[in-house]
Amino acid sequence: MPMTITEKILAAHAGREIVSPGELIQVNVDLALANDITAPLAIGVFDRLGAREVFDRERIALVPDHFVPNKDIESAQQVKLMREFARKHRIRHFFELGETGIEHVILPEKGLVSPGDLVIGADSHTCTYGALGAFSAGVGSTDLGAILATGKTWLKVPATIKLVYEGKLPPWVGGKDLILYTLGLLGVAGAVYHSLEFTGEVMEQLSMAHRFTMANMAVEAGAKNGIFAPDGTTKAYMEGRSDRPGNFMQSDPDASYDKEIKIAVDDMEPQVALPHSPDNVRPISEMGSVSLDQVFLGSCTNGRLEDLRDAAHLLKGRKVADGVRFIVIPGSPSIYKEAIKEGIVETLLDVGAVIGPPCCGPCLGGHMGILAEGERALSTSNRNFVGRMGHPKSEVYLASPVVAAASAVMGRIASPEEL
The CATH number of the domain where 60 resides is what? 3.30.499.10
Considering the chain, what is the average pLDDT of its residues?
A: 97
Same domain, 204 and 345: no
Query: Of 263, 290, 305, at which residue does a domain stop?
Result: 263
Confidence of residue 87 (pLDDT cuts 50, 70, 90): very high
**Cβ burial, residue 345 (10 Å; 0-12/13-18/19+):** buried
Per-residue pLDDT, 228:
98
Percent over 70 (pLDDT), the chain: 100
Same domain, 107 and 254: yes
Per-residue pLDDT, 393:
97
- For residues 16-29, average pLDDT: 98
Which residue, 417, 186, 383, 419, is CA-closest to 285?
417
Chain-centre distance for alpha carbon 162: 20
Same domain, 182 and 276: no
Query: Of 229, 263, 297, at which residue does a domain stop?
Result: 263
* In contact, 43 and 86? CB cutoff 8 Å: no
Same domain, 301 and 225: no
Same domain, 203 and 336: no
Same domain, 15 and 145: yes
Per-residue pLDDT, 147:
98
| Predicted confidence (pLDDT) per residue in 127-173, tens digit | 999 999 999 999 999 999 999 999 999 999 999 999 999 999 999 99
Identify the domain containing residue 250 by its residue range. Answer: 5-263
Which CA distances in Å does 340 have to 209, 331, 335, 348, 357? Answer: 19, 13, 9, 10, 13
Same domain, 255 and 293: no
Same domain, 241 and 280: no
Same domain, 245 and 326: no
| Predicted confidence (pLDDT) per residue in 183-242, tens digit | 999 999 999 999 999 999 999 999 999 999 999 999 999 999 999 999 999 999 999 999
Same domain, 108 and 9: yes
Query: Of 234, 263, 292, at which residue does a domain stop?
Result: 263
| Predicted confidence (pLDDT) per residue in 333-373, tens digit | 999 999 999 999 999 999 999 999 999 999 999 999 999 99
Per-residue pLDDT, 102:
98
Counted domains in the chain: 2
Which residue, 159, 128, 149, 131, is CA-closest to 53?
149
Per-residue pLDDT, 137:
98
Per-residue pLDDT, 268:
98
Distance CA 151, CA 271 (A): 40
Same domain, 249 and 322: no
Same domain, 131 and 189: yes
Compute φ and ψ for 32, nearest 5 degrees: -110, 135
Per-residue pLDDT, 163:
98
Distance CA 284, CA 271 (A): 6
